[in-house]
Structure 1
């Protein structure tokens, strides 16, 4: 055999033997969290400084809502109606500050959908609410019986229609008695759900224990990587939720070089004019979770600029959302506010990328880690 041929065959044989070894080494060196020891502390802060206080705030807001709605039904007046509507907006803000935690107790017993059924793309929920009002279904005036009905008729969307939708002008008169009692049942139902969510997270041996102590035997997180993935996933999914489920339904921006005219009635809370306050609260909640949990501590030395850029984007997004004031249809009719919506959409996409690729890659989850696909 000629030397050159022998050498080539030898190299091929070496490569064939080395390939499995390299693959095994790659598995052994699979991405790991930079500082695994810091993860339990970060998860504990997320629970104690963000999740539990967030649900506590929601429980307080829904208590105020239930009391205000009951007071209005007992003594209908313009002032009491305004108090009930104000309590509704307060509940929307409190919910928007914690709805990014769409896991665990929020998913059990359909609590999330029962609290907020959105988006209602085909108007199914709206039709069900309108049918209850048209038929005066007494079963809908009891929180206990309402709980067994469709998720679409027992949450914030249904209550918004009761307080602001077609026929809401009857609330202050005798003709509004049934409508008011239905609204009171919804408010009591929301209060009950908020109480359940808080109770589940406050149990020392419940989900909070699983979050605080990742490791073998943990039903949720077998190691720190799984725990950090869940927490970062909350942020990524939360930003995507704002972009895809809060902004896009009513304004898609430029499409094939032509700007979307907008669809204001597809915006969440458009009747109560709580659309942008809710979105602003979503961004504030995401930033609060990022900082309250101390997620920057997971970054390796010299990577602080990643957290800085993330916080900068949160700041500009919150400011932009707060600049859009008033009804969504008015915002869509104003060129300056449309540009602000374009700005929000662009920077929301950038924020997703920085959290997903930059932060995720830096802490060892791998650049380009896809939370949407669960990879």
Structure 2
């Protein structure tokens, strides 16, 4: 009840402040002169460093998996778990950018195939582990297989799914070695994808230039308004994904109807780590891009109120027990989930209506859909 009441007060208090602000201000006009600098900061200070970090953590994960294969033990497996968690942290922050090179060649799905409502990935990974196939133990051949068996979700099953105990080498035989080699190939594939994404955004005459210099000859953004729409769309879509795919995929407000095994990363206990990373990425992009500069002086509290909601969500996310099934069974924990559902909705509205309207984009515009 405490979390539910707090969430209601939070939503109502911020809504009241926003409405008061809107009533005292006329329609905003986009400051087109500042848009290129905001886009440049988004690319140079958030997007490129984000992909670099993912690339680096995936490389460390590959090295950790290779160490497990070379010296199977509880210690090397634990180190691989830490590297896996670090990779989820890095990916969860940058995965909010669902535009550009990451949606080409199904890169996003190759990194993370989710939601997997028909358990396609689980079935394919099961099959690969049940009948040894050397083609899945080499990155060069694995990368051409189903996207569902070559990314983070597949590696989670290798490390935490049924039969993962063989990785430590305690049960003898080579099956642990085969499972480990498959996991190492997945990690190498993640490193490859991270490298491709970093290279694509680092190239000065590619997507980087298109983002930083909107104009009539630009293949992506014909003017500053289209560019601003795209940047805001990332934030709105991120907030929608947190609510629709990260939370409502397993919990919609009724614990009796909850589906904890539909939650992302439930096997490894990283469900809420992922949500926290998404929220941190959203906050960082908004701050590092300097979107506040697009607001006039009287409207800049909009960004502060959005960040307040995001920080409140982050505080609660970091306070929930990692085991999703355990959280669903505990009324105190489901109260926190209720808080997240209500206030994640509020976050979407703040971004779409208040920030969008405040910088001169029509309130109510569906930025994530491009309508």
Q: TM-score, normalised by structure 1?
A: 0.89
TM-aligned CA deviation for residue 77 of structure 1: 0.6
Q: Any stretches of 5+ residues in structure 2 without a counterpart?
A: 1-26
Task: Give 1:307 deviation, angstroms.
Answer: 1.1
Q: Give the 5 Å matches for 1:1-375.
A: 33-173=29-169, 174=173, 175-254=175-254, 260-375=256-371
How many Å apart are 1:33 and its aligned residue? 4.6
Counterparts of 1:52 and 1:326 in 2: how far apart (Å)? Answer: 30
**CA distance in structure 2 between the partners assigned to 1:343 and 1:186 by the alignment:** 36
Q: Is the 8 A contact 1:264 1:270 kept in 2?
A: yes
Separation (CA, whole Å) in 2 of partners of 1:116 and 1:373 = 21
Q: Distance in 2 between matches of 1:144 and 1:32?
A: 52
Of structures 1 and 2, the one with the larger relative CO (CA 8 A, separation 6+) is 2
> 1:252 and 1:139 mapped to 2: Cα distance?
40
1:45 & 1:60 partners in 2: Cα distance? 21
**Counterpart secondary structure, 2:246:** helix
Q: 2 CA distance for matches of 1:105 and 1:32? A: 32
Could you say which residue in structure 1 is the equivalent of 2:24? none
Question: 1:305 and 1:41 mapped to 2: Cα distance?
Answer: 21
What is the rounded CA distance, in whole Å, between the counterparts of 2:63 and 2:108 in structure 1?
22
Matched residues in 2 for 1:325 and 1:56: separation? 30
1:330 shift after superposition: 0.8
Q: Secondary structure at the match of 1:214?
A: coil
TM-score by length of 2: 0.90
3-state SS in 1 of match to 2:186: helix
Shift of 1:103: 1.1
Report the Cα distance in structure 1 between the residues aligned to 2:30 and 2:190, rounded to whole angstroms: 41
TM-aligned CA deviation for residue 47 of structure 1: 0.5
Instruction: State the 1:365 CA deviation.
Output: 1.1
Contact 1:33 1:225 in 2 (8 A): no
Q: Aligned partners of 1:70 and 1:373: how far apart in 2?
A: 41
1:302 counterpart SS class: helix
Secondary structure of 1:171's partner? helix
Q: What is the aligned partner in structure 2 of residue 21 from structure 1?
A: none
What is the aligned length?
Answer: 341
What is residue 5 of structure 1 aligned with on the other side?
none
* Structure 1 residue ranges without an equivalent (≥5): 1-30
* 8 A contact 1:276–1:322 mirrored in 2: yes
Q: Tell me: CA distance 1:260–1:252, structure 2 relative to 1, closer, same or farther (3 Å).
A: farther
Question: Which digits, 9 at most, give the CA deviation of each residue in 1:148-203, with x for residues without a partner?
Answer: 10000000000000000001111122331110110010010000000100010000
Indicate conservation of the 8 Å contact 1:275/1:328, yes or no: yes
| Aligned residues: CA RMSD | 1.2
